[in-house]
Amino acid sequence: MDMNFKPLMPHPVKRPVVIAGPCSAETEVQVMETARQLKEAGQAVDFYRAGIWKPRTRPNSFEGVGKEGLQWLKKVKAEFGFKTCTEVANTAHVFHALKSDVDLLWLGARTTVNPFSVQEIADALEGVDKPILIKNPINPDLGLWIGAIERIYKAGLHRIGVIHRGFSSHGETKFRNVPRWQIAIELKRRFPDLMMICDNSHICGRRDILGEIAQQAMDLNYAGIMTETHCTPDEAWSDAAQQITPQVFKELVDNLVIREENSQDLQVNQNIGDLRNQIDELDEEVINLIANRMKLADAIGAYKKRNNISILQSSRFNDILKQAIIQGEKKGLSQGFITTYLHAIHQESINHQKEVYQKTETKTEKEKDVT
């Protein structure tokens, strides 16, 4: 679907766009105090966040204060001049958030995952011109993420951006939600006009690596960050382990190195261009080499078929893999990369050989017909 996104905010956007505020609005004092400390620290805030309705994994956890909290966001706006934002997950949330003049809405990860919920929200927002951010679904499914964007877009909301908050995974990792950067990068490749925000809080789930992840996002040219900040993080009613004080947040932002996507310097661009040309040439060569490798696979396939040998000899693949890992290590290529690369090559070889087997069969059938 063709989509023409409009900017979320009046241009020019100054990187990083900052969305900060507590995971949840807990009390009026906590919401106001967190905002006050951000202001006092001198931190620019493009949108002040606070979850009013909280999707919690288990019941009996704190599920948000509900619409009462929207009045506190109004007060934040009036007193500190911060625009506000919150998560909406159903028609009632949309109704209350719009009524209370929340400046930006976002869809949470557990909503994006469910097309029924996304459609319900899209219907409730039909014809309303609000900026909206769509978080990635909890599972690493780019189609689902794009589907949610399309549903919202079709409802007439064109000021759309996305929040990358990482993905659930099995097993122990240092993250609460593994980033899988390549999924967000692919989304950005397909829709370059989408503003991409990194929710380092939900990716990390802990305080000590928030800065590292924010920096990685900046180096990937994300527009901004959404970071949970709380006046007393240790006492937070939700996500305490990942929240930081406004002062610590200010330091984090101040330490970010913001690099431009392109240099204004002609010589720099020329040098990058030269290196890219070399890469393009090598890529072409690699593709030619792979094509030659496939031709050999075809030849072997035909030979195996004539000699009644099965396509797959797994010991052969294991030998290739072992050898390549040793060679790769010497050249500074990781075992993970070599394994992924060779599996892809091997799969393509098998597909080629299968085709050879089928072709030979069809020919034999035809030959039979003739005779």
Residue with smaller CB distance to Mn ion, 23 or 198: 23
Site string for Mn ion, 10-29 (x = CB under 5 A): -------------x------
205 contacts: CB under 8 Å, gap ≥ 6: 175, 176, 177, 239, 241, 242
CA dist., res. 222 & res. 215, Å (int): 10
Q: What's the closest the beta carbon of residue 202 comes to ligand PEP, in angstroms?
A: 4
CA dist., res. 33 & res. 25, Å (int): 11
Q: What's the closest the beta carbon of residue 19 comes to Mn ion, in angstroms?
A: 12
Decide: is 305 part of the binding site for ligand PEP (CB under 6 A). no
Decide: is 23 part of the binding site for ligand PEP (CB under 6 A). yes
Q: Which does 165 bind (CB under 5 to 8 A by kind): Mn ion, ligand PEP, none?
A: ligand PEP
Phi/psi at 225 (5° precision): -130, 150
Site string for ligand PEP, 119-138 (x = CB under 6 A): ----------------x---
Pick from 16, 21, 51, 328 the residue near ligand PEP by CB under 6 A: 51
Decide: is 199 part of the binding site for Mn ion (CB under 5 A). no
Pick from 109, 213, 236, 338 the residue near ligand PEP by CB under 6 A: 109
Pick from 77, 96, 164, 165 the residue near ligand PEP by CB under 6 A: 165
Give the CA diameter of the chain.
92
Residue with smaller CB distance to ligand PEP, 179 or 301: 179
CA dist., res. 121 & res. 119, Å (int): 5
Summarize as ranges the residues that interact with ligand PEP (CB under 6 A).
23, 51, 55, 108-110, 135, 165, 199, 202
